[in-house]
Amino acid sequence: MTTITKEQMNTLVELQKIEIEKLKVQRVLDAVAKKLTHLEAGLIQMTADIGGQREQLAELKHRYREFEDQVREKEDLIRKIEEKRRAVKTNREYQSLLKEEEQLKTRRSQIEDEMLVLMSGIETTEKDLVERETEFAEKSRAIEADKVSVKENALDSEERFATLKSQWDEVARQTSPDLLKKFNQVKSRQNNGVAVAPVRHAVCYGCHMNIPPQMFNELQRCDSLKLCPFCYRILYWDKE
Ligand SMILES: [Zn+2]
């Protein structure tokens, strides 16, 4: 049985009050952090989309340059054939070169058609990219402004949290190390961080269960540390 004085119990109750207040402020600050992450997530997605589109544009331009090379190559060949054609002796040779030249010209014209399609794709992508970049710049500015206001609104809570933390430290210093250890142990086992619960009319207000009458009698004497048999919180008798 851990003995405890009324004063020590009051210290634990005080710690718990600060703890509950701290948790409330912590929830506000968590919501702020979540809001900021959410705001930034939108920008991250847009950055990724723009990056993908820039790559796509570079790829289209690269293909266009390859086609330009192919056209130049065909034109060189056509020029060479025309020179050869002027020097040939037989009609058969002449006809064969003419045929070859026709084929090269057909191929060149096919490539030029493909280049036109590609160019229109490049123009569409460039236009779309400019629009997206403008939209991104506008959204970034709006989000930055939102972030500033969210952070400003959080300032009070941050201050309050710091105050509560120093209050907690102060009260913790006045608490015996054994009791503090017990308090922290009980707290760590609770989902809501509440380690100390008042008992009113023999009901534990941590879990709303009736505690045994014998325990309730002992609790009113305020001389030993009692844990709720149901939720394992540290109990204190609240006469109110
Ligand atoms: Zn309980």
The string of pLDDT tens digits covering residues 183-230 is: 999 999 988 889 999 999 999 999 999 999 999 999 998 888 999 999
The order of strands in the sheet holding 226-227 is 203-204, 196-200, 234-237, 226-227
Scan for tokens 């236009």, then name that residue. 127
Please tell me the distance between residue 89's alpha carbon and the centre of ligand 1 in angstroms.
113
Q: Where does residue 4 rank: exposed (0-12), middle (13-18), buried (19+ CB within 10 A)?
A: buried
Q: Are 170 and 189 in contact (CB under 8 A)?
A: no
CATH number for region 32-156: 1.10.287.1490
Q: Give the Cβ contact number of residue 36 at 10 Å.
A: 16
Please tell me the distance between residue 198's alpha carbon and the centre of ligand 1 in angstroms.
9
The predicted model scores a pTM of 0.66
Q: For residue range 118-173, what is the model confidence (pLDDT) as tens digits? A: 999 999 999 999 999 999 999 999 999 998 998 998 999 999 999 999 999 999 99
Please tell me the distance between residue 127's alpha carbon and the centre of ligand 1 in angstroms.
66
Please tell me the distance between residue 192's alpha carbon and the centre of ligand 1 in angstroms.
13
**Domains of the chain: which residue ranges?**
32-156
Q: Are 187 and 195 in contact (CB under 8 A)?
A: yes
Please tell me the distance between residue 208's alpha carbon and the centre of ligand 1 in angstroms.
6
Please tell me the distance between residue 240's alpha carbon and the centre of ligand 1 in angstroms.
18
